Amino acid sequence: MSKEHAASPSGVMGSMVSRSGRPCDIARRLLRRSNATWSLTVSQTKSITAHGKSGDVDKALELFDQMPHRNLVAYNAMLSVLIDSGRLDSSLQFFSRMPLKNSRSYTSMITGMGRSGRVREARRLFDSIPSRHRNVFAWTAMICCYAQNDEPLRAVKLFTDSYGDFSQSKVAPNSHTFSLLLKSCGSLKSLVYVRQFHCMIAKILDLETKCCIFVQNALVDAYAKLGCLIDAERVFGRMKWKDLASWNTMMDCYTHNLLLHQAFEIFNSMKDKDILSWNIMMSGLLESRRGLEVPNLFLSLSRLYPESKPNSSTYSIVLSACATHAMLEFGRQIHSCSYKISLYPYNIFVSNALVTMYANCGLMKEMVEVFDELPNKDVVSWNSVIQGFGQNGEAREALNLAKKALDSGMFNANTFTAIFTSCSHGGLVIEGLDYFNSMRRKYGIEPNLDHYVCVVDLLGRAGMVKEANDLLGSMPFPANSVAWSTLLNACSLHGSVDIGRVAARKLQMMEPGSVKSYLALASAYNRTGNEGASSKLLDPIVENHTVKEHGSSWVIKM
């Protein structure tokens, strides 16, 4: 080949070289153009995400539509913006039009459907994921979808059924997967599953690393909730790394088991506490019937402001303590504080706690004012005010409100408990029985044991002891000590000795160390004029120095 021919350009490349210069110059220009396109796409994708986070979804969509070049990252960013904004239907339409999808696309969509409660659709999408995109994140998202929608058994079953397939694809569960599964086990109250997952965690994860702290926290929590405090302590003690959540979890374990001394040891030893730490201790005091100590702890927390700021849960716990122990003055101060920081009346939990507090203190006017000022009432709000009227002897007003709640669909099983309690205190037997007979048929609520006990109390208070006994015997589940005690109290009140003997015998079998059954039956004998039989029951109790605890009441200064 001659030099002349070799230097001559030929074809398209030749013409390009002749016009633009050497081939390396062309490559550089093409690379610069490609980099500029890539930079523009990245910049526009970041803008879409930023607009989404600020809530301007329409602007994000406009930017996406104007993009000259869209890659999979841009599509996924726009999909996430739609999902996070709650536009699930738009997300589904966008997802169906995506030219390409990857694991992140499927995972985002499953997560969005899980948040919206569309579990079946999420499962259909999960099952349709191509094998190359079935990774641990999509797997965990579907487990999370079941867990957060109160389907813990399906969450566990999905894992056990698909573990073999994922294992063959070399996909292993991560710490987030196991945390969700342990939470589901707690809901299922299955210690067997917890122990099995504990073994898998020990084999698959490196528990010596910091990233596994929250899995171990979940293990501590699961064991404690299932009553295995020793196992919870063992896991906690072996943790190489502990964070604030670890200490809070262990402290919560102790409070739920009413071990306040151990909980306070942790609480007092913690250098850094968050508001959850304080709430756990206040709630523990309330559960342990030491609610009178809650105000002091709350005041100690208030002195640390602004380092530790009380939240809505804090105020709800304190108000519950005020309601339990009728601490009206302190409750009013908390009411004022919640108003100043705009929790009242907008926070439903604080407002509902205030309704209960004023009801327990017998202040109907204040209770109604709080209820009326609620901008958005929920079922608990209605139940609390119905219960409040009923327990303060205003049964008719309670039933009037109950009718409004039932007609507006703001009711649940507890609504009927409040109704029966109100009827019982007000002697409204016919009304109470009407609601009991219609609750399943008309309102779709299946009567539970509490409902039956309330109606037994309703009949017993009205002197219909035989009818109360018949109802107790017809229950579709075994009677507990509360049911027999309720019937026995009715027998004591109305001198029904024959039924009282049966109720007393049942109660003695369930609570062998209690003297309640003897005292109630002795009272029934006294009402029928049979002091001899009454003494026969009481003399052994006196000889053994077994006495009834003194009752106490709270006197409120108005």
pLDDT in tens, 161-191: 999 999 898 999 999 999 999 999 999 999 9
Q: How far apart are CA 408 and CA 550, in angstroms?
A: 44
pLDDT band of residue 427 (cuts 50, 70, 90) is very high
pLDDT at 321: 97
CB atoms within 10 A of CB 551: 5
| Two structure tokens written together for 27 | 């490559």
pLDDT at 318 over 90: yes
pLDDT band of residue 363 (cuts 50, 70, 90) is very high
Read off the pLDDT of each residue in 130-158 and give the average, rounded to a whole number.
95
pLDDT at 27: 60
Q: How far apart are CA 264 and CA 255, in angstroms?
A: 9
CB 187 within 8 A of CB 225: no
Rg of the chain over CA atoms, in angstroms?
Answer: 33
Q: What percent of the chain has pLDDT over 90?
A: 71
Torsion-angle region of residue 496: left (phi > 0), alpha (psi -120 to 50) or beta? beta
Q: Which pTM does this prediction carry?
A: 0.77
pLDDT at 542: 47
Residue with tokens 């709630």: 283
CB 440 within 8 A of CB 452: no
pLDDT at 493: 84
Concatenate the DSSP letters of all residues of 326-386 into one string.
T-HHHHHHHHHHHHHTT-TTT-HHHHHHHHHHHHHTT-HHHHHHHHHH-SS--HHHHHHHH
**Which residues fall within 8 angstroms of residue 72, CB to CB, at 6 or more apart?**
100, 101, 102, 105
Sign of CA dihedral 67, 69, 72, 73: negative
Q: How far apart are CA 472 and CA 477, in angstroms?
A: 9
Read off the pLDDT of each residue in 154-161 and give the average, rounded to a whole number.
96
pLDDT in tens, 73-128: 999 999 999 999 999 999 999 999 999 999 999 999 999 999 999 999 999 999 99
In order of start, what are the domains of the chain with their CATH numbers?
A: 20-100 (no CATH), 448-547 (1.25.40)
pLDDT in tens, 30-88: 555 555 566 778 888 898 989 888 889 999 999 999 998 899 999 999 999 999 999 99
Residue with tokens 């002897």: 393
Per-chain mean pLDDT for the chain: 87
pLDDT at 531: 56
Q: How far apart are CA 298 and CA 295, in angstroms?
A: 5
Read off the pLDDT of each residue in 469-495 and give the average, rounded to a whole number.
89
| Two structure tokens written together for 144 | 């999370």
Chain length of the chain? 558
pLDDT at 548 over 50: no
End-to-end CA distance of the chain: 116
pLDDT in tens, 234-289: 999 999 999 999 999 999 999 999 999 999 999 999 988 999 999 999 999 999 99
Identify the DSSP state of 398: H
